[in-house]
Amino acid sequence: MLENKLDIILTTDRSMMTTHHGKEFLGFMATGPAVGMPERLWMWIACPKMRTDSAGRPWQAPYALRKLEALLQDRGYNAAVIDPDHVNKYLADAKILMLSHHDYFALCPPSSEWWVVTKKEPVNSKSFRSFMDGLNLAEAKRRGLKIIVGGPAAWQWLYKPDLIERWGIDTIVDGEGERVVTGLVERVYAGEPLPRYVFVGPSDVPSIEEIPLIKRPSINGLIEIMRGCPRGCKFCSVTLRPLRHIPLDRIEKEMLVNVEGGVESGILHSEDILLYGAMGLKLNPDALIKLHQLARRHWKSIAWSHASLAAVKNAEEEYHLISKIMEIVKSGGQDYLGVEVGIETGSVRLARKIMPAKSAPYPPEMWPEIVEDAFAIMHENNIVPAATLILGLPEETPDDVMKTAELIDRLRPYRSLIVPMFFVPMGILKNKDWFTDVKVTDEHIEVMRRCLWHSIYWAEKILSEFYLRNPKYFPLRWMLQLFLKYATYKGRLIERKLGLTPLGRREKYGEEVLAAAQ
Amino acid sequence: MTSTLKLLSSNSPLSSERLAGAGCLFSQKFLKIWFAGELDEKAVEHLKRKLGEALARRERRILLRFYLEEGSHESYYDALRNILLSNVSLSIVVEERPASELERDLEKASGEEILLVLGRGASKPSRSAGLIVEEVEGDARE
């Protein structure tokens, strides 16, 4: 198919084109700088190189790139996803280079948060810059190569006019690309000028039938089961897009593409897995059971990308659905399931203001209780959440932040990782040094150190009891355990420096966890 | 699976209306706004107001075309960001052309409905059918 030539190259840098050793949570490390170890080693842990064929096509590739690849191939274009190490050999003949990324310049959380805390540039941004600088772009641009960039971080280019110039970026596509990309490609083939920027509004997102099915494996078997979210949280852009549920037959076809390509486990992707097939926010147990039965039938292990805490509580309390789903999951020999969840805040006042529907079907006044109940349900069912919360939300008061700190204390008995993230309003980004301008208050520090000790305590257990149990992961586990020891040492040091009463004795924290659990 | 599929299609807010309008974004109808002159703070506010008005009129898509003088790069992106990141509802396509091509493009587009916004330093073009000209608070040159 490739014939040593490609008209359209789809690619991204190593921080995205990697399997993270088949452990998606390790991808979090790709959003930070190397801490306590050489960058090369950090990159090996977080973003090992991808296996490729002789043409440089990666075994697995980011799902968004796979979708575009399918779309373009369906329209008859000579297009393929290429591993970043092999892009140069196709540049001489290519008409278009298409790039996608979750966080080109480390401006999104959690990269921005790592940057604030460590004052060091995260590896994802460094990796992307070094990838771009390593391409033979000058000659290709002289010959007429067009560069189109997109993905969820497309907006970041608007803050980087110097890099738009330096690398000759032609078009930025912000939003779902199915109705845009072929139009752009046609313009390139016709020699017509390209627009500088395209924002795809809610009216122009594709229908289910317009979303192509991937033709080759996606990273860690990730498959989209829904697009959009009905919860309407003010800090989130996904919620602005119409909700679309992908039918089971289409999901199954993509599962089979992965399995036949040798990716035997998978991640169900949605902003809220438990809303699959839902009528608005009313859960649909039948659809969820069928979805998990399907996944069980084809996959060795199942993971969820995201779930909302209100849905976890509602699913279990009203339908015993979490237990039922976990029965299905465990029937294949798998004994835990990973997922990302959003706590965001422990303050009812803020919850009411910025995410009034996140607690639905419960009122926002119940938010802290919902979080705690959902954590308890997940703990009992061996669902391991990586939770995020947001610091510095607009109109946040010290009291709001302390409410979050109190909530984290109440979550101690529950197996989980909790990662604080700074809210970065667009206005602040106008200043190019925005990341040094974030005001970290005493209350923020209280939340951050609680998250640190909570996560260190539970990470050790999760690594050894669940996540990296297989002997093939022992070297990786050992290195991560070393990293946790280093983080413990640094955490204690910082607490001493700030004159804080230590929360950070791991043994002590463990005792407190046990006491809280009793 | 049948029941789920049935439910999914009846639940989809996209089904009928969306499929009727399916296709390439660029082949859809756009409200065309062209801008010439200096893209200063007043001009940015003016264009943001235009986007707001378009949204209120239930427009769905805007084509913003900027006629640029050479060397205005960094400030242009500052302004562009300010305009674009305030929007979440409209589809927006941004095109750029050299300022010297404005008259020629107006001639070519004669008969098309275009709102031409003139910022500081921009000259008023010769009128053509379908063209509506607005100035950013009287900034345009006679």
Q: A107-164, pLDDT tens digit by residue?
A: 888 888 788 778 899 999 999 999 999 999 999 999 999 999 999 999 999 999 999 9
Nearest chain A residue (CA) to B75: A161
Q: Which residue has the higher pLDDT, A196 or B10?
A: A196
DSSP helix/strand/coil, A366: helix
B4 vs A237: CA distance, rounded Å: 27
Cβ neighbour number for residue A313 with a 10 Å cutoff: 25
Other CB atoms within 10 Å distance of the CB of residue A203: 18
H or E element that contains A385: strand A383-391
Q: Are residues A170 and A253 in the same domain?
A: no
**Percent of all residues in chain A with a pLDDT value above 90, rounded to a whole number:** 72
CATH code of A383's domain: 3.80.30.20
How far B130 CA sits from the closest chain A CA (Å)?
23
Q: Do A249 and B24 touch (CB under 8 A)?
A: no
Up-side HSE of residue A252: CA atoms within 13 Å toward CB?
Answer: 11
| pLDDT surpasses 90 at A362 | yes
* CA closest to A245 among chain B residues: B8
The helix or strand, by DSSP H or E, that contains position A100, with its residue range, turns out to be strand A96-100
Q: What distance in Å separates the CA atoms of residue A490 and residue A469, rounded to the nearest whole number?
A: 27
What's the rounded Cα separation, in Å, for the pair A138 and A445? 46
**Cα–Cα dist A490/A349, whole Å:** 34
- Angstrom distance (rounded) from CA A63 to CA B2: 27
Report if residue A492 sits inside a domain: no
Considering the domain architecture, whether residues A255 and A161 belong to the same structural domain is answered as: no
A167 with A147: CB under 8 angstroms? Answer: yes
The minimal CB distance from A242 to the residues B13, B93, B94 is found for: B13
Provide the pLDDT for residue A510. 56
Could you name the CATH architecture of B29-135?
Answer: 3-Layer(aba) Sandwich (3.40)
Pairwise CB contact (< 8 Å): B18 & A183: no
Q: Give how far Cα A239 sits from Cα of A233, A278, A392, Å.
A: 7, 15, 21
What is the pLDDT, as a whole number, of residue B17?
Answer: 37
**A160, A182, A204 - which closes a domain:** A204
Which residue would you say has higher pLDDT here, A3 or A423?
A423
pLDDT band at A53 (very low <50, low <70, confident <90, very high): very high
Mutate to test the interface with B, among A149, A158, A204 (most CBs of B within 10 A): A204
Q: Long-range CB contacts (< 8 A, 24+ apart) of B85-88?
A: B85/A155, B85/A158, B85/A426, B86/B48, B86/B51, B87/A199, B87/A201, B87/B51, B88/A201, B88/A237, B88/A240
Question: Is the confidence at residue A94, as pLDDT, over 90?
Answer: yes
Cβ neighbours of B4 in A, within 8 Å = 247-248, 277, 284, 286-287, 290
Inter-chain residue contact B94 with A249, CB threshold 8 Å = no
What pLDDT does B87 receive? 81
Q: What is the pLDDT of residue A309?
A: 97
Q: What is the mean pLDDT of chain A?
A: 90
CB atoms B27 and A206 under 8 Å: no
Query: How do residues A275-308 score in pLDDT, each as one tens digit?
Result: 999 998 999 999 999 999 999 999 999 999 999 9
Among A270, A372, A233, smallest CA distance to A312 is for A372
Nearest to B89 among A180, A197, A202 (CB): A202
- Phi/psi at A413 (nearest 5 deg)? -75, -5
Contact partners, residue A466, CB within 8 Å, separation at least 6: A335, A336, A382, A384
Owning domain of residue A237: 212-455
Residue A431: beta bridge partners?
Answer: none
Residues of chain B with pLDDT under 50: 1-21, 142
- Partners of residue A290 in chain B, C-beta under 8 Å: 1, 4
Give the per-residue pLDDT at B16.
34
Chain A nearest CA to B7, separation (Å): 7
The answer to whether the CB atoms of A180 and B25 lie below 8 A apart is yes
Contact B84 A286 (CB under 8 A): no
Indicate the number of domains in chain A. 2
A69: left (phi over 0), alpha (psi -120 to 50) or beta: alpha
Same domain flag for A99 and A230: no
Q: Which amino acid is at A177?
A: G
Least CB-CB distance to B22: which of A207, A244, A247? A207
Test the B interface: residue of A185, A196, A234, A240 with most B CBs within 10 Å: A196
Residue A105 token pair = 């310049």
| pLDDT for res A497 | 86
Nearest to B88 among A162, A198, A237 (CB): A237
DSSP string, A153-208: TGGGGGG-HHHHHHHT--EEEES--TTTHHHHHHHHHHTPPPPSEEE--GGGSPPG
- Residue B97 CB contacts under 8 Å (≥ 6 apart), including other chains: A193, B65, B66, B67, B68, B105
* Residue A115 shares a structural domain with residue A19: yes
| B90: nearest CB among A158, A201, A284 | A201
Q: Kindly identify which residue of chain A lies nearest to residue B92, measuring between CA atoms.
A: A199
Contact B116, B34 (CB under 8 A): yes
Query: What proportion of chain A, given as a percentage, has pLDDT over 70?
Result: 93
A197–B94 CB contact, under 8 Å: yes
pLDDT number for residue A164: 95
Nearest to B8 among A198, A209, A247 (CB): A247
Quick check: A244 and B22 CB within 8 A?
Answer: no
Q: At what angle do helices B41-56 and B73-84 cross, to 10 degrees?
A: 30
What pLDDT shows up at residue A505?
55
The pLDDT score that the predictor gives to residue B137 is: 74
Contact A420, A473 (CB under 8 A): no
Please tell me the total number of residues recorded for chain A in this structure.
Answer: 518
**The pTM is what?**
0.88
Instruction: Find the CB nearest B60 among A158, A179, A203.
Output: A203
Beta carbons of B5 and A249 less than 8 Å apart: yes
Interchain pair B26, A180: CB under 8 A: yes
Q: Which residues of B touch A198 (CB under 8 A)?
A: 25, 91-94
Distance to chain B for A518, nearest Cα, Å? 43
Residue A460 lies in a domain: no
Task: Tell me the nearest-neighbour CA distance from B20 into chain A, angstroms.
Answer: 10
Q: Specify whether A175 is located in the same domain as A94.
A: yes
Q: Please, which residues bridge with residue A30 across strands?
A: none
| Chain A interface test: which of B3, B18, B34, B97 (most A C-beta within 10 Å) | B18
Euclidean distance between CA atoms A251 and A313, whole angstroms? 26
Residues from chain A that touch B11, judged by Cβ atoms under 8 A, are: 245, 277-279
Mean pLDDT of A228-251: 83
Q: Taking 90 as the threshold, does the pLDDT of residue A370 lie above it?
A: yes
Strand, coil or helix: B112: coil
Q: Of A429, A455, A481, which residue is a domain's last?
A: A455
A299 domain-assigned = yes
Pair A103, A218 in one domain? no
Instruction: Please answer whether residues B132 and B115 qualify as being in contact, where contact means their C-beta atoms are separated by less than 8 angstroms.
Output: yes
At residue B18, the pLDDT reads 37
CB B35 within 8 A of CB B43: yes
Q: Is residue A516 part of a domain?
A: no
In this structure, the dihedral spanned by the alpha carbons of residues A391, A395, A398 and A399, taken in order and rounded to 10 degrees, is -110
User: Are A141 and A235 members of one domain?
Assistant: no
pLDDT range class, residue A331, cuts 50, 70, 90: very high
| Model confidence pLDDT, tens digit, residues A489-507 | 888 888 888 888 777 555 5
- The predicted pLDDT at position A354 comes to 86
pLDDT confidence of residue A192: 95
Query: Sheet containing A417-422: which strands, arranged edge to edge?
Result: A337-344, A383-391, A417-422
Which pLDDT belongs to residue A513? 58
In this structure, the answer to whether residues A30 and A144 fall within a common structural domain is: yes
Which of A175, A204, A233 is the last residue in one of the domains?
A204
Quote the pLDDT of residue A15: 97
How high is the pLDDT of residue A66? 98
> Which residue of B lies nearest to A279 if distances are taken between CA atoms?
B11
Asked whether residue A495 is assigned to any structural domain, the reply reads: no
Tell me which of A494 and A209 has the higher pLDDT: A209
Task: Give the DSSP letter of residue A391.
Answer: E
Rounded Cα–Cα distance for residues A274 and A147 (Å): 38
CA dist., res. A180 & res. A175, Å (int): 9
Mean pLDDT, residues A191-201 taken together: 96
Question: Is residue A497 included in any domain, yes or no?
Answer: no
Q: Supply the pLDDT for residue A147.
A: 98
Could you tell me if residue A157 is inside a domain?
Answer: yes
What is the pLDDT averaged over residues A6-21? 97
Amino acid sitting at position A224: E
Q: Is the pLDDT of residue A488 over 60?
A: yes
Of A34-43, A93-102, A181-190, where does mean pLDDT reach its minimum?
A34-43
A-B Cβ pairs (cutoff 8 Å, strict): 127
Predicted confidence (pLDDT) at residue A484 exceeds the cutoff of 50: yes
